[in-house]
A and B are shown apart, each in its own frame.
Chain A
Amino acid sequence: DAGITQSPRHKVTETGTPVTLRCHQTENHRYMYWYRQDPGHGLRLIHYSYGVKDTDKGEVSDGYSVSRSKTEDFLLTLESATSSQTSVYFCAISGGTSGGRETQYFGPGTRLLVL
């Protein structure tokens, strides 16, 4: 298994509070992604990173920010959590050298409940 961990694995928070999710990899992979998974939608891209301090928006980026100060860590921040951000969040990594023709490896997921 690829070395990817996510923390926390479960979190309950209240509307309006800031929340930060962490993805940590030990594979030295260049690309890191944050997806959210919701019933009826499948997985959707929030933000991705193609190197240290290099990030870009995905399909559902509103209300989220990210940071990558080290190769191994990719942080997802909900500045002011809303109930619509209740979801399961997955981090994924890939080597990023073959234009998308690469396996992505997924973290175990974080279940976030915003009350």
Chain B
Amino acid sequence: KNEVEQSPQNLTAQEGEFITINCSYSVGISALHWLQQHPGGGIVSLFMLSSGKKKHGRLIATINIQEKHSSLHITASHPRDSAVYICAVSMGGSQGNLIFGKGTKLSVKP
């Protein structure tokens, strides 16, 4: 079974700061997903990656397959980035389901 660990659990930042959230997993994967859960509870997919780096606006996700580690970076953070960020991995095969980390709660202060 894959264990997905995120750090930190909680993070408070000032507006404009550069933020990094880390995710590590124990077993080889098919893909890694970063999700965002809004304060209202809705969950949206930010990135899915199996190698290298992806960028969308102020968000950057990287993955190191050999190290079994991924990072989510937020540049020029803003209060609207306040949310829970969840790392999840898919093992491939016919199931396709995700195994989730416990999430990182980010609060960005103005």
Contacts and interface: CB of A to CB of B under 8 A. Distances in A.
Contacts, number: 71
Interface in A70-115: 88, 90, 92, 94, 96, 99-106, 108-109
A94 B4 CA distance: 21
A50 interface: yes
Pick the most buried of B4, B48, B93: most chain A CB atoms within 10 A of its CB.
B48
Interface residues of B, number: 28
B95 A100 contact: yes
Interface size class on chain A is 20 to 34
Contacts of A56: 95
A101 B90 CA distance: 7
B45 A100 contact: no
A41 B75 CA distance: 28
A109 B86 contact: no
Contacts of A106: 35, 42-45
Interface stretch (B14-22, B53-61, B65-73, B98-106): B98-106
Given A88-B41, A104-B45, A106-B44, 9 more contacts: A45-B97, A48-B97, A50-B95, A58-B97, A100-B95, A101-B50, A101-B92, A102-B48, A103-B45
30 contacts: A31-B96, A33-B97, A43-B86, A43-B88, A45-B97, A45-B99, A48-B96, A50-B94, A92-B98, A94-B96, A96-B96, A99-B30, A99-B93, A99-B96, A100-B31, A100-B92, A100-B93, A100-B95, A100-B96, A101-B30, A101-B31, A101-B48, A101-B92, A102-B48, A103-B45, A104-B33, A104-B45, A105-B45, A106-B35, A108-B41
